[in-house]
Structure 1
Amino acid sequence: MMSPSMTTVATASRPTYPVGVPIKFSADGAVQRYPGNTTVCHIPAGSPLLPGLHRVHDTLGSHPTLSRMIRLVPQESWHMTVLDGVRETECEPGMWPQGLEKEPLEACTKEFSRSLRQLGPELEKEGLAPPYRMRVRGFDPAVVGVGLEVEGATSEEQQRMRKLRDRLADTLGFRAPNHLTYQFHVTIAYWLRHVDGEDRTELNKVFTDLLPAVDMEFELGAVEFCTFENMCAYPRLFYLGDARE
């Protein structure tokens, strides 16, 4: 029997499906083409956060109800976005650098690569080099997906992370409309259905049970400039500041 929140009825206040459907995933969870570029820090191997992330992933994936409402992303793709680049399908004002809106994605990626390679060595001089000390604030509101909200481990580190975002944005040549309000996060899954009623209550219980497993500080390494064809893999082009690449 389908739970109430697994219906697909649109209301006046929201569309039929969560934001990521059908742009990033189909309604049945099939991966959709959604190309772009971005700057991220992947969760490093050996991070103390990984066991907790695995527990969240496995709990959601085996849940009798919630598992049918989500699309888990591959564990090797887990990362924290530092600053979004551009997406091929999102060319509205403010989402691409001025003058590049009509350029092919590949051309924009090439231009970003040139600029970011020049920036890399400057991060050390400006006090913006890794490691980045982060801490988990809790689970995000779970509207678009399931993930952890994270922030700098201290107020000073949070300020440094915001300054890093500013520096990256100025290097790429644009600040998205959400630049100042952007919340750092680590995504574990995307919703395929809205979560309401009993399912929302159950989700909150799951979060309460799992929070101790992820409530910690952790470190991230160098910022990576990556491309992507979908939301399941972020191949790295280079690390910022790595003279070998």
Structure 2
Amino acid sequence: MSPASIKPSLQQFAAGANRTRPRHLGTRYDWEGRFLLEPGNTVVCHVVPDTATERALVAMRERLVAMPDAGSLAFTPAASLHMTLFQGIIEYRRHWPYWPQDQLASTSIDVMTRLYRERLANFRPPAPFRVHAVDVAPAEVVVEGATPEDRDLLGAWRDALAEVFGYRHPDHERYRFHITLSYPVEWLADGRLEAWQSVLDESLALLQREAPVLELRPPAFCSFNDMEHFEELLVLENKAALQA
């Protein structure tokens, strides 16, 4: 495999391409790969248990965990596999445009979660969507809408949720939908990139073969204390669209 075969999604984890430590190291997880207290809320679609999608993702994840230098990554639990649809507020990001301007930045996470749950009780969700995998990196499975209509629906969901949450992140329009697998504790040695790219390519092929459309639960507003578990508080479904 030539250096040109290394995808940008892997290159960003290379030691040679990074001069600073990983962004979330020390707040989201520590040097031992243990996840730290970082409460917040979010809207995610959990992977449906006991499905071809879950089995393929778990098998793919096991391939990555088995890599000799997998200790460079802090892997999230297989039981928490999900696609993030909209990022809520989080403890260490209490400023605009990651926090609504109409709420004090000192407001507790629990109070903000109750506020959003009340707002979402009257939320009118867009129609359901379908997604498929388009890339695999050490930290994530990158997904997008399975059809142009699905891609439009994903955008409609994010626009509608932004109105409820009261902000739009700078990457709102270009947000890359993904299923998180891990976070980097240290960057991968440049000499290891070819081996990683080979496993990542095999993993993507496995996922596309076994789960061409990913089986996800409906979007749900969740609370969390760390990156290991996301508790569903309110399922957001367009029941009229489901019955049509």
1:113–1:225 Cα contact (<8 Å) kept:
yes
Match of 2:19 in 1: 14
1:223 corresponds to 2:219:
yes
Aligned-residue sequence identity (percent) comes to 27
Match of 2:96 in 1: 93
* Consecutive unaligned residues in structure 1, runs of 5 or more: 1-9
Q: RMSD across aligned C-alpha pairs, in angstroms? A: 2.0
1:149–1:186 Cα contact (<8 Å) kept:
yes
1:47–1:218 Cα contact (<8 Å) kept:
no
Q: In structure 2, how many angstroms separate the alpha carbons of the residues matched to 1:208 and 1:214?
A: 10
1:129 corresponds to 2:127:
yes
Amino acid at match of 1:178: D
TM-aligned CA distance change 1:12 to 1:82, over 3 Å: closer
Amino acid at match of 1:14: R
**Equivalenced residues, count:** 221
145, 155, 171: which one aligns with 2:164 = 171
Amino acid at match of 1:64: P
CA deviations on 1:152-203 (whole Å, 9 max, x unpaired) are 1001110011111100111111111111111100011111111231122221
Match of 1:236 in 2: 232
Residue correspondence of structure 1 range 58-207 to structure 2 within 5 A: 58-65=62-69, 67-100=70-103, 101-119=105-123, 122-123=124-125, 128-130=126-128, 132-140=129-137, 142=138, 146-207=139-200
Amino acid at match of 2:204: L
1:224–1:239 Cα contact (<8 Å) kept:
yes
2:29–2:35 Cα contact (<8 Å) kept:
yes
Question: What is the CA distance between 1:213 and its match in structure 2?
Answer: 0.9
Question: What is the CA distance between 1:221 and its match in structure 2?
Answer: 2.8
Question: What is the CA distance between 1:241 and its match in structure 2?
Answer: 4.2
Match of 1:55 in 2: 59
After the TM superposition, which segments of 4 or more aligned residues of structure 1 sit over 4 Å from their partners?
10-13
1:129–1:222 Cα contact (<8 Å) kept:
no
2:77–2:228 Cα contact (<8 Å) kept:
yes
Q: TM-score by structure 2 length?
A: 0.84
2:219–2:235 Cα contact (<8 Å) kept:
yes
Question: What is the CA distance between 1:48 and its match in structure 2?
Answer: 2.5
